[in-house]
Amino acid sequence: MRHRTVLDSAEISRAISRIAHEVIESNKGAQGLVILGIPTRGVPLARRLAEKIAQIEPDADADAITGSLDITMYRDDLRRGKLRSPEPTRIPPTGIDGRTVVLVDDVLFSGRTIRAALDALADIGRPDAVRLAVLVDRGHRSLPIRADHVGKNLPTAIDERVSVTVAEIDGEDAVTISAPEAA
């Protein structure tokens, strides 16, 4: 497989900063925001996004608005044997009822992960609005799902693989595309 880096650490940081400004602008401030990361790499990205929002909006408390939403048991591919251990869902003390929830994930591809996240969210409460922030949108949707905030649109071939690494988990920040070798 051939690999090429499409975003480095500085570019990822700029993308998160831009997304933070977009979230604040679309919400008209930070009031009522809840930032929920989808495991695995969406969780540290959500944390970074909340920290950036708190830097911009002094009234925002990153710890108080950040959480994680495990979607393992809501996935539609469980019967296919794609198992992974569930991770804890952590909802901020304010809950999500009547709030604007921003779901954060690393890559938007088919839309199935986000569909599962919406199902999981519905079991927890009733937000006023749900927005989606992704670091990378690579296209190829199977479901009618669109991100509200995108760090980078990466048109890809269906057989290419987009990988996101984050320092908190992988030791470095990068987005790479891997393509199969030509036969």
Q: Is 176 domain-assigned? A: no
CA–CA gap between residue 46 and residue 123 (Å, rounded):
21
Q: Which residues of the chain have pLDDT under 50?
A: none
Position 76 scores a pLDDT of 82
Q: Is 175 domain-assigned? A: no
Q: Is 1 domain-assigned? A: no
DSSP structural state of residue 111: S
Q: Is 170 domain-assigned? A: no
Q: What CATH number should be reported for the domain holding residue 53?
A: 3.40.50.2020
Rounded to two decimals, what is the model's pTM? 0.95
CA–CA gap between residue 29 and residue 38 (Å, rounded):
23
Question: Which tens digit of pLDDT belongs to each residue from 138-167?
Answer: 999 999 999 999 999 999 999 999 999 999
Position 183 scores a pLDDT of 61
Q: Is 54 domain-assigned? A: yes
Q: Is 81 domain-assigned? A: yes
Position 83 scores a pLDDT of 66
Q: Is 118 domain-assigned? A: yes
Domain count, the chain: 1
Q: Which domain holds residue 72?
A: 9-158
Q: Is 64 domain-assigned? A: yes
